[in-house]
A and B are shown apart, each in its own frame.
Chain A
Amino acid sequence: SQKIEQNSEALNIQEGKTATLTCNYTNYSPAYLQWYRQDPGRGPVFLLLIRENEKEKRKERLKVTFDTTLKQSLFHITASQPADSATYLCALEGGSSNTGKLIFGQGTTLQVKP
């Protein structure tokens, strides 16, 4: 069955360092991969989308890579700040009968310490 895995353990880093979050998937061929941020008690907020034919995408301090051979995406936050502390969700979209629905990983919680 389709499976998406993100690090279940919280990631704790020092302010100013680069945070790297991992998303691995199996039994799936997504056309798109998206990353969302979710704060406690709130809905997810879109961050970045990367297509299957793209290797890397950047937006300000964020960078996403997408390796369809390894079936893995890495999400980087450079020069991290305490305000970056949140849960980050990886979501896959695509497939033969895709209707735009997203398949989410369980999320990784990032804690940036000042």
Chain B
Amino acid sequence: NAGVMQNPRHLVRRRGQEARLRCSPMKGHSHVYWYRQLPEEGLKFMVYLQKENIIDESGMPKERFSAEFPKEGPSILRIQQVVRGDSAAYFCASSPPSGTRGNEQFFGPGTRLTVL
């Protein structure tokens, strides 16, 4: 049973370009969470999605960031017009559909975004 998959593992973008980060949850998991880890800082929640729905986006920056989890295919975190401050590790986590509370989350290996 494959774990949470993220790609690319490393992404380099120039300022003003777009970054697309992909996450495939564990098989059978329908809940996806995105977190961001800035250098020397802890993980910060960004967004929680279920298939075709954004449930909680309270941690998402108001501009340039968007996320989706379509009926088919991986979840996508999209950052438009990247700036240097977007450089960070972005982690995706999934949990089973048995309920969101009191469940461990399974994390992917992360995508390390570097903005030049």
Out of A41, A100, A104, A107, which one reaches B101, CB within 8 Å? A100
Whether, in the assembled complex, B48 has its beta carbon less than 8 Å from a beta carbon of chain A, the answer is yes
Q: Roughly how many angstroms separate A46 CA and B91 CA in the complex, as a whole number?
A: 14
A32 to chain B, nearest CB (A): 5
Whether A61 sits at the interface, judged by CB under 8 Å, is: no
A-B contact count (CB 8 A): 67
Number of B residues, CB within 8 Å of A: 28
Residues of B within 8 A of A34 (CB): 104
- Check if B48 sits within 8 Å of A100, measured CB to CB: yes
Which of B13-21, B39-47, B63-71, B72-80 is near enough to bind chain A? B39-47
Query: In the complex, are the beta carbons of B101 and A31 less than 8 A apart?
Result: yes
Bound CA–CA A51/B45 (angstroms): 21
Q: Which of A42, A43, A101, A107 contacts B56 (CB 8 A)?
A: A101
Task: Mark the stretch among A10-18, A70-78, A91-99 that contacts chain B.
Answer: A91-99
B42: which of A42, A93, A105 is its contact (CB, 8 Å)?
A: A105
Q: In the complex, which residues of chain A have a beta carbon less than 8 angstroms from the beta carbon of B100?
A: 98-100
Q: How many residues on A have C-beta within 8 angstroms of the other chain's C-beta atoms?
A: 27
Q: Is A86 interfacial (CB 8 A cutoff)? A: no
Q: Interface centre among B43, B58, B91, by most A CB within 10 Å? A: B43
Q: Mark B88-102, 1 if CB is under 8 A from A, else 0.
A: 000101010000111
Cβ-based interface call for B12 (8 A): no
Asked whether B33 lies within 8 Å of A93 as measured between CB atoms, the reply is no
Expressed in whole angstroms, the minimum distance between the Cβ of A24 and any Cβ of chain B is 14
Query: Is residue A79 within 8 Å, beta carbon to beta carbon, of the partner chain?
Result: no
Per CB-CB distance, the 7 closest pairs between chain A and chain B, nearest first, are A100-B100, A43-B107, A46-B104, A106-B42, A99-B56, A104-B43, A101-B45
Residues of A within 8 A of B (CB): 4, 31-32, 34, 36, 41-46, 49, 51, 89, 91, 93-94, 98-107
Known: A46-B106, A100-B48, A100-B100. 16 other contacts (CB 8 A): A31-B101, A32-B102, A41-B110, A42-B110, A44-B43, A49-B102, A49-B104, A89-B43, A99-B100, A100-B105, A102-B33, A104-B42, A104-B43, A104-B44, A105-B42, A107-B42
